[in-house]
């Protein structure tokens, strides 16, 4: 006897999958945007900051990159509410994802910033740019361009990792899948469908990052070559 | 180049095809259990006092004792397959367990995909809340956050009966209990048997039973079309209800007697 696939639950349940996917998109786009800002600030602090700032940023990166995301999520959701700070599952999820994203982005952006040749900085110095102006106008954009592929990978990874926020009752795509599975018992089919949705989302994210890259980086747009 | 890739590609495709057309074991489970000398029983060890772990991290609880008694009477050794609420039935469907003894209540939805033995215990489920959160009936739940474990009968009942309640779904009892103890939710729907353990987590936040939703009968779950196994399990449950062994196990962990007559009547 062969396993009989039965996808008929989709007829009734597709709006639930759509709602779940939409929450996944909202959670992750917000987390990626905020996490990128946090990461870039920390990377600048790690490269150009004073001793205290460097230590602080370094400690943050090591702490987050060496602990599991699920544990971080539990600390935000259960830990903070135990001491009286009650955040909803969605807010807790975004906070944990931003903190996590920030740490990984810090390391990627640090690589980008350190790859900028020192003669560029000397040139900026000669033109009389201040340290802040140099970072903003000379260092950051080419640094992002250099590490853009690594960044977009990390962003997509975060989107996939957001599936574990179902553990704290955020009703995102995986939570919806668990609901439907427990309703219909078609576990194989449900997770095949969800895998396909995640795959489509990943491709969509990559397309979007590619488009953003083309808008942002003139060299890539005009010459099509990497920096 | 093409020649180099194609054998690999074909092997990959063949593998993919194989994995899509696997054949589930269809032999007689009772024979297989006896042949293997062990019975694989799925138990959720995060539902005290049915299934839990003791100080030495060994599984214990009324379902664990029930499974041990069953294995002993079957004359084989017991292999406990740890599971969670939502994965109890998939464990059977994917042949990772022979039986489920895991606070599995009999429902029509479940009966479509698995077979049940006659009931071996009862299990009332309730809506409970903090002392200063009064509740009288389901309609009082409207607009309130109610914690529940995904895929349980409480989840199904609340979805249908508590219109307007905001259900907060967790993956298992431990996570739900933690959410209650840490103050994320003030109301939860769960088994009455769980309330003492939940209240113990944070003495400042004790859960008091407010509304009895349903009394369930717990049964042993097995794959469909296993007449020999079903017959053996049914007569085992009947014998051990009558001789008081199942009642003694229940009393040891739950502190209350099981309604033997009522259970036997429900089984007929």
Paired with B211 in beta bridges are B127
pLDDT tens digits for range B90-109:
999 999 999 999 999 898 98
Mean pLDDT of all residues in A6-17 = 91
Query: Does residue B23 carry a pLDDT above 60?
Result: no
Q: What is the pLDDT of residue B119?
A: 96
User: Which residue's structure tokens are 């010459």?
Assistant: A223
Q: What is the pLDDT of residue B1?
A: 41
Chain B residues with CB within 8 Å of chain A CB: 21-24, 26, 85-86, 89-90, 93, 109-110, 113, 147, 150-151, 155, 168-171, 175, 178-179, 181-184
Give the three-state DSSP class for B1. Answer: coil
Query: Which two structure tokens, joined as six digits, stand for A216?
Result: 């942002």
Q: What is the pLDDT of residue B15?
A: 54
Say whether the ipTM exceeds 0.90.
no
B-chain residues near A182 (CB < 8 A): 85-86, 150-151, 155
Q: What is the pLDDT of residue B26?
A: 54
Query: Which two structure tokens, joined as six digits, stand for B245?
Result: 């062994």
Query: Which two structure tokens, joined as six digits, stand for B93?
Result: 């469907």
**Contact yes or no for A2 and B21 at CB 8 A:** yes
Residue in A2, A81, A168 closest to B183 by CB: A81
| Burial class of residue A155, CB neighbours in 10 A (0-12, 13-18, 19+) | buried
Range of B44-58, B131-145, B194-208, B234-248 with top mean pLDDT: B234-248
Q: CA B123, CA A66: separation in Å to the nearest integer? A: 43
Mean pLDDT of all residues in A68-97 = 93
B-chain residues near A2 (CB < 8 A): 21, 23
Question: What is chain B's mean pLDDT, rounded?
Answer: 88
pLDDT tens digits for range B148-206:
999 888 998 999 999 899 999 999 888 999 999 999 999 999 988 888 888 888 889 99
Task: Report the relative pairing of strands B187-191 and B115-116 from DSSP bridges.
Answer: unpaired
A89 touching B (Cβ < 8 Å): yes
Q: What is the pLDDT of residue A186?
A: 87
Band (A82; pLDDT cuts 50, 70, 90): confident
A107 touching B (Cβ < 8 Å): no
Query: Does residue A135 carry a pLDDT above 80?
Result: yes
Q: Return the half-sphere exposure (C-beta side, CA atoms, 13 A cut-off) of residue A61.
A: 21
Query: Which two structure tokens, joined as six digits, stand for A120?
Result: 């560029």
Nearest-CA distance A75 → chain B (Å): 11
A-chain residues near B109 (CB < 8 A): 185
Residue in B86, B90, B183 closest to A82 by CB: B183
Query: Does residue A2 carry a pLDDT above 90?
Result: no
**Contact yes or no for B171 and A185 at CB 8 A:** no
Higher-pLDDT residue of B53 and B196 is: B53
Residues near A159 by beta carbon (within 8 Å), at least 6 away in sequence: A24, A28, A32, A198, A201, A202, A205
From the list B138, B129, B101, B124, the residue with the least C-alpha distance to B209 is B129
B227-242 vs B245-254: helix axis angle to the nearest 10? 70
Q: What is the pLDDT of residue A1?
A: 57
Question: What is chain A's mean pLDDT, rounded?
Answer: 94
Residues in chain A: 227
With beta carbons less than 8 A apart as the criterion, state whether A90 and A23 touch.
yes
**Contact yes or no for B151 and A167 at CB 8 A:** no
Q: What is the pLDDT of residue A201?
A: 97
From the list B40, B99, B123, B63, the residue with the least C-alpha distance to B234 is B99
A-chain residues near B115 (CB < 8 A): none
**Contact yes or no for B170 and A169 at CB 8 A:** yes
Lowest mean pLDDT among A47-51, B244-248, B255-259: B255-259
Please state whether the predicted TM-score (pTM) of the whole model is above 0.80. no
From the list B112, B113, B128, B99, the residue with the least C-alpha distance to B218 is B99
Mean pLDDT of all residues in A138-142 = 94
Higher-pLDDT residue of A5 and B48 is: A5
Q: CA B258, CA B248: separation in Å to the nearest integer? A: 9
pLDDT tens digits for range A34-60:
999 999 999 999 999 999 999 999 999
A167 touching B (Cβ < 8 Å): yes
Helices (H) and strands (E) in chain A, counts: 11, 0
Query: Does residue A126 carry a pLDDT above 60?
Result: yes
**Contact yes or no for A78 and B171 at CB 8 A:** no
Paired with B40 in beta bridges are B79
Mean pLDDT of all residues in A182-211 = 93
Residue in B86, B168, B181 closest to A169 by CB: B168
Query: Does residue A29 carry a pLDDT above 60?
Result: yes
Query: Does residue B86 carry a pLDDT above 90?
Result: no
Higher-pLDDT residue of B241 and A225 is: B241
Residues near B82 by beta carbon (within 8 Å), at least 6 away in sequence: B42, B43, B44, B45, B59
Q: What is the pLDDT of residue B12?
A: 60
Query: Does residue B20 carry a pLDDT above 60?
Result: no
Query: Does residue B78 carry a pLDDT above 90?
Result: yes
**Contact yes or no for B23 and A2 at CB 8 A:** yes
Residue B218 backbone phi and psi in degrees, to 5: -90, 135
From the list B145, B174, B171, the residue with the least C-alpha distance to B158 is B145
Q: Which chain A residue shows the shortest CA-CA distance from B25? A: A1
Q: What is the pLDDT of residue B10?
A: 60
A vs B: CB pairs below 8 A = 62
Q: CA B158, CA B152: separation in Å to the nearest integer? A: 10
Query: Which two structure tokens, joined as six digits, stand for A20?
Result: 């779940």
With beta carbons less than 8 A apart as the criterion, state whether A174 and A70 touch.
no
Q: CA B191, CA A152: separation in Å to the nearest integer? A: 46
Mean pLDDT of all residues in B4-11 = 59
Mean pLDDT of all residues in A149-158 = 96
Q: CA A81, CA A134: separation in Å to the nearest integer? A: 43
Q: What is the pLDDT of residue B47?
A: 82
């Amino acid at each position: 006897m062969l396993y009989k696939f039965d996808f008929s639950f989709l007829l009734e349940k597709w709006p639930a999958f759509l709602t779940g996917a939409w929450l996944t998109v909202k959670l992750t786009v917000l987390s990626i945007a905020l996490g990128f800002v946090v990461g870039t600030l920390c990377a600048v602090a790690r490269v150009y900051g004073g001793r205290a700032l460097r230590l602080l940023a370094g400690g943050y990166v090591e702490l987050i990159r060496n602990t599991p995301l699920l544990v971080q999520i539990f600390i935000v959701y259960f830990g903070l509410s135990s001491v009286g700070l009650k955040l909803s599952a969605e807010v807790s999820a975004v906070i944990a994802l931003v903190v996590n994203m920030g740490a990984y982005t810090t390391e990627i952006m640090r690589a980008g910033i350190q790859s900028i040749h020192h003669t560029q900085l000397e040139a900026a110095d000669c033109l009389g740019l201040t340290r802040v102006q140099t970072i903003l106008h000379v260092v950051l954009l080419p640094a992002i361009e250099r590490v853009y592929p690594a960044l977009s990978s990390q962003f997509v990874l975060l989107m996939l990792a957001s599936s574990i926020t179902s553990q704290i009752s955020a009703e995102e795509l995986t939570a919806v899948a668990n609901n439907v599975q427990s309703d219909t018992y078609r576990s194989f089919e449900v997770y095949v469908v969800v895998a396909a949705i995640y795959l489509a989302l990943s491709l969509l994210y990559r397309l979007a990052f590619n488009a953003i890259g083309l808008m942002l980086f003139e060299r890539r747009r005009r010459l099509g070559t990497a920096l | 180049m093409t020649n180099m890739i194609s054998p690999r590609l074909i092997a990959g495709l063949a593998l993919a095809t194989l994995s899509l057309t696997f054949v589930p074991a269809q032999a007689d489970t009772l024979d297989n259990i006896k042949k293997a000398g062990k019975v694989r029983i799925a138990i959720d060890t995060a539902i005290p006092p049915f299934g839990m772990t003791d100080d030495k991290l060994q599984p214990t609880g009324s379902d664990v004792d029930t499974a041990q008694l069953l294995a002993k009477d079957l004359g084989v050794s017991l292999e406990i397959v740890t599971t969670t609420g939502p994965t109890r039935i998939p464990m059977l469907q994917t042949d990772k367990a022979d039986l489920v003894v895991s606070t599995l209540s009999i429902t029509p939805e479940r009966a479509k995909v698995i077979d049940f033995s006659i009931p071996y215990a009862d299990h009332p489920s309730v809506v409970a809340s903090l002392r200063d959160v009064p509740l009288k009936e389901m309609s009082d739940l409207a607009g309130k956050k109610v914690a529940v474990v995904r895929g349980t009968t409480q989840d199904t009942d609340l979805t249908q009966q508590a219109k307007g309640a905001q259900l907060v779904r967790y993956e298992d009892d431990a996570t739900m209990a933690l959410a209650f103890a840490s103050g994320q939710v003030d109301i939860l729907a769960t088994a009455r048997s769980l309330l003492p353990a939940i209240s113990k987590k944070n003495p400042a936040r004790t859960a008091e039973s407010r509304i009895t939703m349903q009394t369930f009968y717990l049964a042993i779950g097995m794959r469909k079309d296993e007449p020999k196994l079903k017959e053996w399990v049914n007569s085992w449950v009947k014998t051990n209800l009558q001789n008081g062994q199942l009642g003694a196990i229940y009393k040891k962990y739950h502190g209350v007697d099981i309604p033997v007559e009522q259970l036997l009547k429900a089984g007929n």
